[in-house]
Amino acid sequence: MAANGPTVTGVMSAASDAASWPVDRIDATRRGIEPWQRDVLIAVGVAFVELVGTHFAGEHQPERYQWDALGVSLLLVGPALLVVRRRYPRFVLAGVHASALTYWVIGYVRGPIFLAPIVALGTAVVAGYRRDAVIALVLGFAGFLWLPWLLGREDPPPPGAVLGLAAWLLVLLAVAEMVRARHERVVNARQLREEEARRRVSDERLRIARELHDVVAHNISLINVQAATTLHLMNGDEAPAREALAAIKTVSQETLVELRSVLGVLRHVDESAPRGPAPTLRRLDELIDRTTAAGLTVEVDVRGVQRELPVHVDLAAYRIVQEALTNVARHSTANAATVTITFGPDDLVVQIDDEGRPATGTSSSSALSVSSASPVPGNGITGMIERATALGGNVQAAPRAGGGFRVRAWLPVRDQP
């Protein structure tokens, strides 16, 4: 056995890197290879190394039992079990160690027969069966060193072989733990990337939902008001009716164009850019004209030094004004509203006031009661709050003390993209 001690430790040293085989490699290095295909390749590689290595090692061990059908079978059992190592790590760990120990105790020629147990051990550690791996190491340490002596087949192992094998087993366990830690980091990083991707998709869907609400709620509301005006005036002067129909045609056409642009993002198709400019405060006059055509008089008061705003701030301000005027036209008896836009040095304040009362029979999800102490926001107000919050700002929507309703949005401008 003394002569076999260095051989055992040398084989384990040369094969220690195989403990990392069960670990998932970086995606780029294994692209296009399925897990079961990797397992088959590893099993074939381990079988080849064990067979060829043991064959050449046997030429220098004439005192050992040479191969027969049983020896070859025991040598191939371990690599064969590695094919299912991911699904049954504990079973594979026990089976591989049992076949290798049986081969060792019978006294067949020595060789790199520990390669399969090392791979099985690494798989068990990475899979979370660390206690089973330690038990297998302890039993293997005792069995491979002392069982042949207890059965009277060999001399007792020398102290050098005992200490050398113990040292290599500790190194093997440490390597397996490092591989397990690396595997967990890779898995955690992948999970974080997937969660971030899901969050971005959710945020994008929320943004698109807000855009759809703002576009449809405002423009379709104006269409509804104009249609009501047309029906009321059909029996009278035809000139106002023609103007109302013209406004309906313009608004509905713009609605379809904007909806097509937004839905194109949902379909992930490459379409030509919208022919109309993006919603911005520079187009506020167009919004006011459409609202005025619906019968609501709107005054705009711009304070401070006007300047170019970041795209997200400009769009949010426009949509907040649009939604607030939509609520006035749909749910209030007011026939006038005031829009105040204040450009500060590092912020933008948008305020919309009306002096009317909510129309009777309106839904609480769309309108807020003047007598309500704390308003219950519906989809429109919720959308305004979400837009401002996403930019680090806030929205206050509440009845005014003297009657009517006020929406005030504060949007920070500094450090916005």
Residue 120 maps to a domain: yes
How distant, in Å, are the alpha carbons of 126, 207, 285, 352 from that of 387? Answer: 45, 8, 22, 16
Arithmetic mean of pLDDT, 396-400: 88
Is residue 220 included in any domain, yes or no? no
Confidence band for 196, pLDDT divided at 50, 70 and 90: confident
Average pLDDT over residues 151-166: 77
Q: Are residues 178 and 314 in the same domain?
A: no
Parent domain of 283: 279-417
For residues 109 and 234, the model is more confident at: 109
**Boundary residue ending a domain (140, 171, 196):** 196
Distance CA 230, CA 236 (A): 10
* Residue 50 within any structural domain of the chain: yes
Please indicate, yes or no, if residue 246 is contained in any of the structural domains: no
Across 185-208, average pLDDT = 78
Check if the beta carbon of residue 101 is closer than 8 Å to that of residue 140.
Answer: yes
400, two tokens: 């005014």
Q: What is the pLDDT of residue 175?
A: 84
Whether residue 147 is found in the same domain as residue 290 = no
> Quick one: DSSP state of residue 273?
P
Summarize pLDDT for 267-279 with one digit per residue, the tens.
554 444 445 566 7
314 and 180 part of one domain = no
**For the chain, what is the radius of gyration of the CA atoms?**
39
The pLDDT of residue 267? 53
Which one is predicted more confidently, 281 or 22?
281
User: Mind listing the pLDDT tens digit for each residue in 17-63?
Assistant: 444 443 444 444 445 678 888 889 988 999 999 888 888 887 777 77
Residue 261 included in any domain: no
Cβ-in-10-Å burial (0-12, 13-18, 19+) of 244 comes to: buried
Q: Given pLDDT bands bounded at 50, 70 and 90, which one contains residue 218?
A: low
Of the candidates 209, 318, 316, 317, the residue with the CA atom closest to the CA atom of residue 265: 209
Tell me, yes or no, whether 192 and 302 share the same domain.
no
> How much is the pLDDT for 333?
74
The more confident residue out of 92 and 29 is 92
Distance (Å, whole) CA 413 – CA 416: 6
From 196, 211, 239, give the residue that closes a domain.
196
* Chain centroid to CA 168: 41
**Does the predicted model carry a pTM greater than 0.75?**
no
For position 253, what pLDDT does the model report?
64
Is 303 found in the same domain as 175? no
Identity of the highest mean pLDDT range in 31-45, 77-91, 185-199, 257-271 = 77-91
Burial (Cβ within 10 Å: 0-12, 13-18, ≥19) of residue 166: middle
Q: What is the mean pLDDT of residues 313-334?
A: 85
Tell me: pLDDT of 132 over 80.
Answer: yes
pLDDT at 302: 92
Residue 116 resides in a domain: yes
Q: Give the CB-side neighbour count of residue 141, counting CA atoms within 13 A.
A: 18
> Are 301 and 177 in the same domain?
no
Q: With pLDDT > 70 as the criterion, what percentage of the chain qualifies?
A: 71
DSSP state of 279: P
* Domain shared by 40 and 178, yes or no: yes
Query: What is the reported pLDDT for 156?
Result: 79
Give the separation between CA 417 and CA 313, rounded to whole angstroms: 9
pLDDT of residue 339: 94
Say which range, 20-29, 140-149, 162-171, has the weakest mean pLDDT.
Answer: 20-29
Domain containing residue 319: CATH number: 3.30.565.10
What are the phi and psi torsion angles at 380 (to 5°)?
Answer: -65, -50
- Mention every residue, 6+ apart, whose C-beta is less than 8 A from residue 363: 378
Residue 250 CB coordination number (10 Å)? 18
Question: Do 147 and 291 sit in the same domain of this protein?
Answer: no
